Amino acid sequence: MALLEVTNLGISFGGLRAVNEFDLTIEEGELYGLIGPNGAGKTTVFNMLTGIYKPTDGKIRLAGNDITGKHTADINKAGVARTFQNIRLFGDQSVLDNVKIGLHNSYEYSTFAGVFRLPKFFATEKEMDKKALEILSVFGLDKEANVLASNLPYGKQRQLEIARALATNPKLLLLDEPAAGMNPNETRDLMNTIALIRKEFGVTILLIEHDMKLVSGICEKLTVLNFGQVLAQGKTSEVLNNPRVIKAYLGE
Amino acid sequence: MGFLTYLINGLSLGSVYAIIALGYTMVYGIAKMLNFAHGDVIMVGAYLVFMCMSNTGAPAVVSIVISIVCCTALGMLIEKIAYKPLRRATNLAVLITAIGVSYFLQNMALLIFGSNPVSFTSVITWQGISLAGGQLKITGTAIITIITCLIIMVGLMWFVKNTKPGQAMRAVSEDKDAAVLMGINVNATISLTFAIGSGLAAIAGALLCSSYPSLTPYTGSMPGIKAFTAAVFGGIGSIPGALIGGLLLGIIEILAKAYISSQLADAIVFAVLIIVLLVKPTGILGKQIKEKV
Amino acid sequence: MKNLNKTTQKLITTIAVIAVLYAIMQTMQSTGNLSSLMSGLLVPVCAYSLVAVGLNLCVGYLGELSLGHAGFMCVGAFTSAFFSKAFQESIPDVPRFILALVIGTCAAALFGFLIAIPVLRLSGDYLAIVTLAFGEIIKNVINVLYIGKDSSGLHFSMKDMMSLGMEPGGKILVNGPQGITGTPRQSTFTIAVILLILALVVAHNFVNSRTGRAVKAIRDNQIAAETVGLPITKYKLIAFTISAAIAGVGGVIYAHNINSLTATTNNFGYNMSIMILVYVVLGGIGNFSGSVIAAVVLTMLPEMLRGLSNYRMLIYSIVLIVLMLFNWAPGILKFREEHGITSKGILDRFKKHKEVQ
């Protein structure tokens, strides 16, 4: 059974059809790319997959379970985590706390235990710290654990956002333009990081990207979106050589 | 007949709220701030009219014009001293400063006029009309108040739609940064908005005290809060919204006083506000703004 | 972790300062060195501080502006005073006060919870105006509430005292606009200070716990908080309820310190809500200790200026405006930065001066 199965997905804003008849199947463990020109509807697809927008038509199945139109928080609990094109960190909190918020649903103690500092509080907080530092060290961010998230340099903020998403223990990780605004060196590091987290966390990844080097370098399969419609779908090398895709990207 | 009388009284009070609400709504639309001191400008306006009439014996119209001029200047001055330096600061900082200005105006009035209420002489001497063989009396004050309110509304809507400064106001309220790039003088536009709002507050002060003649340094406070509520009610930032919100609020208040309980009238007004906002979270004519993900 | 220690250190310092101030005030009072006006303010200051701490939780950590916290204070005050008055003869002093405290706090929490359910669907200025409306409604309703007690039990009315239909020997508990008179005056300065410290600890522990982190995450970025699986409404409700409960404690303290408890615009209306908000903003949004300091200074300030009679409130308002401009105006902040007139800059200069010596 495929991990993610999207059939006939569509959404309209007023009269505007932003995404139409979108199909996508991702097998477990795959690294899948979603590409397309600006305004093609890629982020809209992400927003529907994570429940931020409710799709007008279609079905989204995660490991066989229907998650269409569910609440964002419930979809995350079902196993989908994401990052954002315009980074959305908890800026006023430390790097460590950002990851600990990602761990929120995996560790539990009551508000009462927290307010009155019962033993459960200290024990759980200690475990959370340990786990959070473990995740941060994968990204080399453990030394900056106590820095305010908004004070991190741009590239590290993107990494922290991925770390936070991974902390929720997802089956499927959605990365929205992870390389945006990075220089070639940073992009190369990012490619290594993505390969590493795939290995370490065993997570399936769907990413939106404009950097063709990154896409052709790491994605196994691609879907090309244009004007809200699927233009091409399949193995990376085949899709990138598809004349219709080349036309959409380079024009007539 | 009783109901009609209440309805007209409600419309009259609502007209005053609507004029005050305009000041809130325009300032909010353009400067994105709650000008808590607006209610106190009404009080200043009313005292100015009172002083002109009782001390110099000036006719009502002249007194009101003087009051409008002074309040306009006061509004611009407040904006320049207290709000302009905080233009890029957090909303809360501006809110507290506005509260400070409100305290300042109240206590200044307290020092000058004392805390005893003065009896305001109505600026409208016309006795009004009586219909249905004397069963339905409509006071001149009510008629003039309603008409004044309608004239102001129509005038202001025309001004915002058709004149250059009016278009600048709309542009600034839509997007301040883009407006700057289009060569609009944002500071002058905000200043103009405060000027108009404060000038209207002077008129509202005179009309309010003509209906409710007891004037104290705190007179503006409660009508100010209610007018602000009216502005939110109608959809803050919208001029017709201020009219609808103001009139509805006035009518609800008077009817609640007449038929339910005079002590609970305010509670009923606020309860209706809450219900409206829960059904339509941006007010009756408000626009929904969604965050882009 | 270092971060946590820093905030904990700050909390301990604040508690120590409060304890020292408490000792000084107690000594001055017992030796007769404190004016009656000042000593009359000791308990109210603690009550205002409590409400300010509660409101700061809402404004600083939930990130929502409430203009109705005087309403929760009012609920705490009236429910607890009502209880104390109703059972004045039947329950001994100490357990009665403890029960009154619990009842006042829980009633405020319950109101906070019930109000939060619809209100938290709104945001920003709309939320502010609706909380203001709720505060006004609470105040208004209390003003038309008449409750009496006689041998046949409790009697309620929303019209007047006559319609209670009481037996001749009955006792009026709540008398409309005259409110509740003769509440036992049990909130001493000591109790008020203990409760204030307790509230500070609770608030501090809350924001530095798992739940508090979730609340802060929602404040910082609601959409991101949802995508990491946080149930938004639940945490907003928890934070708002605790915030209202702390304000309720302030109300209990306030009510058990005065003879005649009434609900007017100045003590429980929006004027009070705004005054508390001023403490919160001046003391620093999200800074509980700051709220207490601001509440103490700003309550004492007008009293110290009493010699200036009518000018004092005028000076107060000018101080408020100037402080806001000094602390928040971007232009002035830049000027201060350039000339080293920041708290850090002044501290550094002071240190250098010391080293030179």
Give me the sheet containing C153-157, strands edge to edge: C153-157, C146-150, C171-175
Residues A130 and A197 in one domain: no
Distance CA C219, CA A92 (A): 9
Residues A61 and A176 in one domain: yes
The Cα of A205 is separated from the nearest Cα of chain B by a number of Å equal to 20
Number of domains chain A contains? 2
Distance CA C207, CA C190 (A): 26
For chain C, which chains pass the contact test of at least 3 CB pairs under 8 Å? Answer: A, B
If residue A223 lies in a helix (H) or strand (E), which one and from where to where? strand A221-226
Q: Where among A120, A138, A169 does a domain terminate?
A: A169
* A73/C231 Cβ within 8 A: yes
Closest chain B residue to the Cα of A44, Cα to Cα:
B293
CA C92 vs CA B109, C82, C97: distances in Å: 50, 16, 9
Instruction: Report residues of chain C scoring pLDDT below 70.
Output: 1-4, 309, 342-357
Give me the sheet containing A229-235, strands edge to edge: A80-82, A172-176, A204-208, A31-35, A221-226, A229-235
SS3 readout for A70-118: CCHHHHHHHCEEECCCCCCCCCCCEHHHHHHHHCCCCCCCCHHHHHCCC
Residues A54 and A111 in one domain: no
Residues A103 and A67 in one domain: no
Per-residue pLDDT of C248-301, as tens digits, reads 999 999 999 998 999 988 888 888 998 999 999 889 889 999 999 999 998 888
User: Which is it for strands A57-62 and A65-66: parallel, antiparallel or unpaired?
Assistant: antiparallel
Q: Where among A120, A142, A169 does a domain terminate?
A: A169
Residues A128 and A63 in one domain: no
Q: Where among A144, A169, A194 does a domain terminate?
A: A169
Whether residue A157 lies inside any domain: the answer is yes
Whether residue A199 lies inside any domain: the answer is yes
Whether residue A86 lies inside any domain: the answer is no
The Cα of B262 is separated from the nearest Cα of chain A by a number of Å equal to 44
Residues A52 and A177 in one domain: yes
Q: Is some CB atom of chain A closer than 8 A to the CB atom of C3?
A: yes
- The sign of the CA dihedral A181, A186, A192, A193 is negative
B123 DSSP assignment: S
Domain assignment of residue A218, given as a range: 1-79+170-252
pTM assigned to the model: 0.90
Quote the pLDDT of residue C2: 46
Coil, strand or helix: which one is C159? coil
**Hey, where are the domains in chain B?**
14-221
Q: Where does C120-209 have alpha helices with state H?
A: 124-143, 189-207
Give the domain CATH number at A199. 3.40.50.300
CB B206 within 8 A of CB B46: yes
Quote the pLDDT of residue C1: 44
Per-residue pLDDT of A182-229, as tens digits, reads 888 888 888 999 998 998 899 999 999 988 888 999 999 999 999 999
Whether residue A112 lies inside any domain: the answer is yes
- Helix count and strand count (H, E) for chain C: 15, 5
Distance CA B89, CA A22 (A): 45
The Cα of C182 is separated from the nearest Cα of chain B by a number of Å equal to 24
By Cβ distance, the residue of B92, B271, B281 closest to C281 is: B92
pLDDT band at A154 (very low <50, low <70, confident <90, very high): confident
Residues A35 and A96 in one domain: no
By Cβ distance, the residue of C118, C278, C332 closest to B99 is: C278
* B264/C144 Cβ within 8 A: yes
Residue C354 buriedness (CB in 10 A; 0-12 / 13-18 / 19+): exposed
Closest chain C residue to the Cα of B286, Cα to Cα:
C126
pLDDT tens series, chain B, 293 aa: 688 889 999 999 999 999 999 999 999 888 888 888 999 999 999 999 999 998 888 888 999 999 999 999 999 999 999 999 998 888 888 988 999 999 999 999 999 998 899 988 888 888 878 877 777 888 889 999 999 999 999 999 999 999 999 999 999 988 888 999 999 999 999 999 999 999 999 999 999 999 998 999 999 988 998 998 899 888 888 899 999 999 999 999 999 999 988 888 999 999 998 888 888 888 888 776 666 66
Residues A164 and A174 in one domain: no
* C202/A89 Cβ within 8 A: no
Distance CA C26, CA C240 (A): 34
Q: Is some CB atom of chain C closer than 8 A to the CB atom of B113?
A: no
Closest chain B residue to the Cα of C319, Cα to Cα:
B100
Residues A174 and A75 in one domain: yes
Q: Is some CB atom of chain C closer than 8 A to the CB atom of B279?
A: no
- The sign of the CA dihedral B165, B169, B170, B171 is positive
Per-residue pLDDT of A116-152, as tens digits, reads 999 999 999 999 999 999 999 999 999 999 999 999 9
Report chain C's terminal Cα–Cα distance, integer Å: 36
Of residues A91, A94, A119, A121, the one with CA closest to residue A107 = A121
Hey, what's the torsion of the CAs at B86, B90, B95, B101, to 10 degrees?
A: -20
Whether residue A87 lies inside any domain: the answer is no
* C238/A90 Cβ within 8 A: no
Of residues A75, A74, A58, the one with CA closest to residue A18 = A58
Asked whether this complex has an ipTM greater than 0.95, the answer is no
Whether residue A84 lies inside any domain: the answer is no
Residues A102 and A158 in one domain: yes
List domains and CATH numbers for chain C. 2-356 (1.10.3470)
Per-residue pLDDT of A29-71, as tens digits, reads 999 999 998 888 999 999 999 999 999 999 999 999 999 989 9
